[in-house]
Amino acid sequence: MDWLNAVLQGLLLGGLYALLAAGLSLMFGVMRIVNLAHGVLAVVAAYMGYFLVHNFHINAFLTLIVVIPVMAGIGWVLQMGLFNPSLKSGGLAPILVAFGIAVVITNLLQAFFTADTRSIDAGMLGVQSIQVTDTIYIGVFPLITFVVGVLVIAGLQVYLNRTRDGRAMRAASDDKDAAQLMGIDNRRIYAKATALAIGIVGIAGVFLGIRTQFSPTYGDATLIFAFEAVIIGGLGSLWGTLIGGIVLGVAQTVGAQINPSYGVLFGNLVFLAILAFRPTGLLQKAVNS
Of the pair 27, 68, the CB lying nearest another protein is at 27
For another protein, which stretch binds (CB under 8 A), given 85-93, 126-134, 157-165, 244-252?
A: 85-93
**Cβ–Cβ under 8 Å, residues 123 and 111:** no
- Residue placing its CB nearer to another protein in the complex, 36 or 195: 36
Looking at the Cβ atoms of 131 and 261, the one nearer to another protein is: 261
Please identify, using beta-carbon distances, which residue of 166 and 263 lies nearer to another protein: 263
- For residues 18 and 283, the answer to whether their CB atoms sit within 8 Å is no
Question: With respect to another protein, which residue has the nearer C-beta, 28 or 141?
Answer: 28
Q: Which residues, other chains included, contact 284 with Cβ-Cβ below 8 Å and sequence gap of 6+?
A: 233, 234, 235, 236, 237, 240
Among 77, 138, 143, 224, binds another protein (CB under 8 A): 224
d(CA 226, CA 205): 12
Single-letter code of the amino acid located at 106? T
Rounded-to-integer distance, Cα 190 and Cα 79, Å: 7
How far is Cα 159 from Cα 204, in angstroms, rounded to an integer?
A: 19
Of 9-48, binders to another protein (CB under 8 A) are 28, 32-36
Q: How far is the CB of 221 from another protein (least distance, A)?
A: 9
Applying CB under 8 A, does 260 fall inside the site for another protein?
A: no
- Nearest distance in Å: CB 124, another protein: 36
Min. distance of Cβ 262 from another protein in angstroms? 8
Closest distance to another protein from the beta carbon of 11 (Å):
22
Q: Is 223 in the site for another protein (CB under 8 A)?
A: yes
- The correct pick among 151, 258, 279, 286 for binding another protein (CB under 8 A) is 279
Q: How many residues bind another protein (CB under 8 A)?
A: 47
Cα(180)–Cα(171) distance, integer angstroms: 9
Does 235 help bind another protein (rule: CB under 8 A)?
yes
Q: How many helices (H) and strands (E) does the chain have?
A: 13, 2
Nearer to another protein, 12 or 74 (CB): 74
* 183-222 burial code (b ≥16 CB/10 A, e <16): ebebbebbbbbbbbbbbbbbbbbbbbbbbeebbbbbbeeb
Question: What residue spans of 32-135 are helical by DSSP H?
Answer: 38-56, 64-78, 84-89, 93-113, 124-127
Nearer to another protein, 7 or 82 (CB): 82
What is the contact mask toward another protein in residues 89 to 128, using x (rule: CB under 8 A)? x-xxxxxxxxxxx-xx-xxx-xx-----------------
Kindly tell me which of 205 and 236 has the beta carbon lying closer to another protein: 236
Element of type H or E holding 137:
strand 137-139
CB-based burial of residue 99 (10 Å sphere; 0-12 exposed, 13-18 middle, 19+ buried)?
middle
Give residues in contact with another protein (CB under 8 A).
Answer: 28, 32-36, 82, 85-86, 89, 91-101, 103-104, 106-108, 110-111, 220, 223-224, 227-228, 231, 235, 261, 264-265, 268-269, 271-272, 275-276, 279, 287, 289
